Amino acid sequence: MNKSLMEILESFQDLATGRCTLQLIDGQYYEGYLLEITEEYVIFGEGGYAGQPEDLRFALTQIDLNKLSYFDTKLYRYRDVYWDETQQSWQTYN
Provide the whole-model pTM.
0.88
Instruction: State the pLDDT at residue 23.
Output: 96
The residue count of the chain comes to 94
pLDDT tens digits, residue range 13-40? 999 988 999 999 999 999 999 999 999 9
Residue 12: pLDDT above 70? yes
Give the per-residue pLDDT at 65: 96
Please give the average per-residue pLDDT across 32-53, as a whole number: 86
Domain at 5-92: CATH code? 2.30.30
pLDDT at site 24: 97
Q: What is the structure's pLDDT at 86? A: 94
pLDDT of residue 53: 75
